[in-house]
């Protein structure tokens, strides 16, 4: 067996925890920088972890001193601290890529240079009503007002339905750096997990994502009712977008499929991604396995990224009661071919990702039939 370098991970939430499961299987030591009992640390017994924040420079220096390769489960990290340690420790993907990607406006500007199709957008300089009204005349309504930074799960987005919404939209977001995006009338949202290795850009198949209140609820793998030509086009677009960035590792690419079957890139993430959780059960290499192999230059046979059996992933979100999410997980235990993942994140706030369930079946139709009662239960339609 190879003698693995030590990996340092910025952030130890659910993505870090699933990455740790992959690291554990290959005897890879991964040192996590996060708070004391972070989900990823709970399943890793060694004493190399660092207590602190991935936004704090001193903690990041401390982590860098303990490892050979640094990577991140979140893009909202201090890239200046990463830049500082980069001469001494490998940073994958590159801090330059993370710096561009963590600012969604910079990301769009960068991707535009590479001719990646995206919804039209405008930067706000003053966050003023007049400025947004002028942009509204140019882009039309509805439009999506977006925070450039620190966005996740739609926190940072505001749908501006008409000029009348401008004051309330700005009230919600005006203290953040903003841009506005033309509305994308999509018939489906697609996502592709891309793996950037030292000399290749590989992709998992195209999946369909369903967002509710801007939070990913369901992932269908492969995407339902799309032609192989759209599947190939989406994978190609995703690989081209990721090829525009330096460094190795997994990237999650989100796209809109429009009525005329054209594709627009929504955004990408420089990390393992919620739309790729299905790979744990559905593929021989998961996105987490692939990420570790990519950053450590280990082999990734391309056919290991194929889907062996159709899969559906349902996110378990915090509900109205502190234990609503546990009821869904409990129900799923009795469902055949369902795998339950709980993240052990502590308090469940409404909308917080607390776990997920993946169902696989010989056909998508059977997977749908298996998953539907769980969706109905989660939506409160059945007891
Ligand atoms: P994530 O948790 O994926 O990082 P985020 O907060 O960065 O989310 P986006 O991915 O930009 O936000 O948008 C969230 C969702 O809002 C999208 O998946 C899509 O459903 C909707 N959305 C975003 N931009 C547009 C647009 N221009 N037109 C229509 N819908 C949009
Ligand atoms: Mg995002
Ligand atoms: Mg998104």
Which candidate, 377, 360, 161, 362, places its Cα nearest to that of 277?
A: 360
- 266 Cα–ligand 3 center, Å: 7
Global confidence as pTM: 0.97
Q: In this prediction, does ipTM exceed 0.95?
A: yes
- Pairing type for strands 186-196 and 157-160 reads unpaired
Task: Report the C-alpha gap between 284 and 264 in whole angstroms.
Answer: 29
From the CA of 211, the nearest ligand is 1
Which residue numbers in the chain have pLDDT < 50?
A: none
User: Judging by beta carbons within 10 Å of its beta carbon (0-12, 13-18, 19+), is residue 27 exposed, middle or buried?
Assistant: exposed
pLDDT in tens, 322-353: 888 999 999 999 999 999 999 999 889 999 99
Q: Which helix (H) or strand (E) segment is 242 a member of?
A: helix 228-243
Residue 108: φ, ψ to 5°: -65, -45
User: Judging by beta carbons within 10 Å of its beta carbon (0-12, 13-18, 19+), is residue 323 exposed, middle or buried?
Assistant: exposed
pLDDT in tens, 108-130: 999 999 999 999 999 999 999 99
Task: Report the C-alpha gap between 273 and 146 in whole angstroms.
Answer: 20
Which candidate, 219, 214, 229, places its Cα nearest to that of 191?
A: 219
Handedness of CA 48, 21, 197, 297 (dihedral sign): positive
- 1 Cα–ligand 2 center, Å: 37
41 with 12: CB under 8 angstroms? yes
Task: Report the C-alpha gap between 270 and 145 in whole angstroms.
Answer: 22
pLDDT at residue 280, rounded to an integer: 98
Q: What are the residues whose beta carbons fall under 8 Å from the beta carbon of 209, sequence distance 6 or more?
A: 189, 190, 191, 216, 218, 219, 220, 254, 275
Query: For a substitution probing ligand 1, which of 259, 266, 274, 277 has the most ligand atoms within 8 Å of its CB?
Result: 266
Which candidate, 208, 282, 198, 205, places its Cα nearest to that of 247?
A: 198
pLDDT at residue 37, rounded to an integer: 95
Q: What are the residues whose beta carbons fall under 8 Å from the beta carbon of 199, sequence distance 6 or more?
A: none
pLDDT at residue 383, rounded to an integer: 84
Q: What are the residues whose beta carbons fall under 8 Å from the beta carbon of 114, sequence distance 6 or more?
A: 240, 241, 243, 244
Neighbours of 316 (CB within 10 A): 25
142 with 160: CB under 8 angstroms? yes
Instruction: List all residues whose CB is within 6 A of at least one atom of ligand 1.
Output: 119, 144, 151-154, 156-157, 181, 183-184, 189, 211, 214, 254, 266-267
If you average pLDDT over every residue of the chain, what do you get?
97
């Amino acid at each position: 067996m190879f003698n693995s370098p030590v990996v340092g991970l910025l952030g130890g939430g659910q993505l870090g925890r699933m990455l740790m499961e992959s690291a554990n299987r290959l005897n890879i030591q991964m040192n996590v920088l996060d708070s004391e009992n972070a989900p990823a640390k709970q399943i890793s017994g060694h004493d190399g972890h660092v207590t602190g924040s991935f936004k704090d420079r001193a903690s990041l220096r401390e982590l860098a001193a303990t490892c050979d390769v640094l990577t991140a489960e979140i893009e909202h990290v201090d890239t200046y601290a990463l830049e500082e340690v980069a001469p001494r420790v490998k940073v994958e993907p590159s801090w330059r890529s993370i710096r561009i990607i963590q600012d969604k406006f910079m990301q769009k500007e960068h991707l535009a240079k590479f001719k990646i199709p995206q919804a039209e957008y405008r930067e706000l300089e003053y966050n003023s009503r007049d400025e947004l009204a002028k942009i509204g005349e140019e882009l039309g309504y509805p439009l999506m007002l977006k925070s450039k930074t620190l966005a996740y799960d739609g926190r940072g987005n505001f749908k501006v339905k008409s000029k009348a919404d401008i004051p309330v939209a700005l009230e919600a977001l005006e203290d953040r750096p903003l841009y506005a995006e033309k509305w994308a009338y999509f018939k489906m949202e697609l996502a592709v997990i891309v793996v950037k290795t030292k000399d290749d850009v590989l992709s998992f198949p195209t999946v369909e994502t369903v967002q509710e209140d801007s939070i990913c609820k369901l992932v269908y793998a492969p995407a339902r009712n799309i032609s192989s030509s759209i599947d190939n086009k989406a994978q190609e677009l995703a690989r081209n977008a990721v090829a525009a960035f330096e460094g190795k590792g997994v990237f999650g690419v989100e796209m809109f499929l429009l009525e005329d079957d054209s594709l627009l890139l929504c955004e990408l993430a420089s990390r393992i991604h919620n739309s790729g959780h299905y790979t744990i059960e559905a593929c021989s290499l998961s996105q987490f396995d692939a990420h570790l192999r990519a950053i450590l230059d280990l082999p990734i046979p391309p056919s290991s990224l194929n889907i062996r059996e159709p899969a559906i992933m349902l996110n378990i979100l915090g509900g109205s009661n502190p234990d609503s999410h546990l009821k869904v997980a409990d129900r799923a235990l009795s469902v055949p071919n369902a795998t339950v993942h709980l993240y052990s994140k502590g308090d469940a706030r409404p909308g917080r990702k607390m776990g997920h369930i993946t169902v696989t079946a010989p056909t998508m139709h059977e997977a749908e039939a298996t998953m539907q009662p769980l969706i109905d239960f989660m939506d409160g339609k059945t007891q």
